[in-house]
Amino acid sequence: MIPDEKKLNEFLGKVVADAGAAMSSALVVLGDRLGLYKALAKAPCSAKELAEKTQTVERYVQEWLDAQTSGGYVVYDPKSQRYALPPEQAAALADDDHPASVPGMFQVAAACWAAIDQMSARFKSGEGFAWGEHHHCLFEGTERFFRAGYTGNLVSSWLPALDGATARLEKGAKVADVGCGFGASTIIMAKAYPRSRFFGYDTHEPSIIAARERAKAAGVADRVTFDVAGATDFPGRDYDLIAHFDCLHDMENPTGAARRAKDALASDGYWMIVEPFASDKREENHNPVGRVFYSASTMICVPHSLSRRGPALGAQAGEGRLGRIVKEGGFTRFRRATATPFNLILEARP
C-alpha cells in the first residue's frame, strides 16, 4: 500500500515529538539530580549563573537550558538572556512535596531504558524479570512518583471515601500496608493519624531498610514497623485496615493476597486497593495515561509477575478483573470508593 502523504507527515510529527521527549527525559533526570531545577526555581539565571550556583560546567548547562526551553520546561528572556522556571513547572519539577511532582516518573523511565537488553531476551524466552533485578533508580523513582499522588489525595480524599474508616483511624486503628516499598504511604498515614499503629510489609529488603530510615527521619518510627514479608504470608491478625497501594497487579498470586487480606482483617475491617486507573475495555485505555501505564507494565509489572509464574495482570487490569479477584478471596462487598485520572481506589469488606 502507498501511504497517504498527509497522514505520514502527521505521524512523523508525532515521532519527532516522541523522540525529543525520550531524549530529553534523560535531561530531566540530570536536572533533578544536579539541583538545576531547584536553583532555577529560586530566581532566573544565565547559564553561567546557574552553573556557578550548582557547581557545574557552564557549557553543559547552556546546552541543557536550551534543550529544556525547546520542550517548554524552561522559558527564556532574550533581553536579559536569562532562563526561568515558571511557578507551574517549578511545582512539578523542583518541589518534591508537591502533589504534581514528576521527576520520579522520569527515574522510572530511566529504569525501563536500563532494562532494554534483559527485556529483549525475555520477549523471546517468555521468562520474567523480577522487581529487585531492575536498576536501583526504579525503586526511588517509583516511591517519588506515587508519593506525589499519595500526598495530594490519600488523607484528604481516599481514606475519607472508605465508609467510616477515618473515624476509626483517628480513634486508633491497626493498619497493614502491604507492598509498601519505601513506606511513603505508610508514613503519610502515620503522620495523619498519630493514635493508630502501622505495619509496612514488602518482599524487597533494600526497600524495607530505606523505609525504616525514612520513618525515623519523619519522626514516626515509634508507631510504624517495617518488615520483610509477602502479600500471602505477612504476619498479624485483626487489622482494622489493610492497604495495597499500586502493587496488587504486580503480584504472582493476587488471589492468594486477597485471601490473606480477608484472613488478617477484623470482621468489620476495610481492605483498600489502590490501582492505576483503567477501564475494563482496553480500547478505552488507549490514551496518554494508558500509554504511561501500559509502557511501565510492559517493562516492570508484567515481567515481575511472570518471574514468579504469576498471572501477569498488568497495570491496566481494570476494576472488573480486580473485583473478581477480591470475591475469589472471600470478600462479600466490593465497590469503587473514588478515583483520580491516575488511580482507582477500591474498597472491599468481609
pLDDT tens-digit profile of 327-348?
A: 999 999 999 999 999 999 999 9
What mean pLDDT is predicted for residues 239-245? Answer: 98
pLDDT at position 334:
97
Per-residue pLDDT band for 183 (boundaries 50, 70, 90) equals very high
Q: What class does CATH assign to 5-94?
A: mainly alpha
- On the question of pLDDT at 1 being above 90, the answer is no
Spatial separation of the C-alpha atoms in residues 312 and 305, rounded to whole Å:
5
Q: Which three cell numbers stand for residue 205?
A: 529488603
What mean pLDDT is predicted for residues 245-268? Answer: 97
Residues 6 or more apart in contact with residue 91 via CB below 8 angstroms: 98, 100, 101
Tell me the average pLDDT of the chain.
96
Q: Which three cell numbers stand for residue 227?
A: 518488615
Q: In the beta sheet, which residues pair with residue 245?
A: 274
Any idea what the Cα angle at residue 135 is, between residues 291 and 24, rounded to 5°? 50
Q: Is domain 104-349 annotated with CATH 3.40.50.150?
A: yes
- At 18-69, the pLDDT tens digits run 999 999 999 999 999 999 999 999 999 999 999 999 999 999 999 999 999 9
Whole-angstrom CA distances from 249 to 59, 245, 257, 321, 325 are 45, 10, 11, 10, 10
Per domain, the residue ranges of the chain are 5-94, 104-349
Per-residue pLDDT band for 152 (boundaries 50, 70, 90) equals very high
What mean pLDDT is predicted for residues 148-167? Answer: 95
DSSP 85-108: --HHHHHHHT-TTSTT--HHHHHH
pLDDT at position 295:
96
The percentage of the chain sitting over the pLDDT mark of 90, rounded to a whole number, equals 99
Q: Which three cell numbers stand for residue 197?
A: 499503629
pLDDT at position 132:
92
pTM for the structure as a whole: 0.91
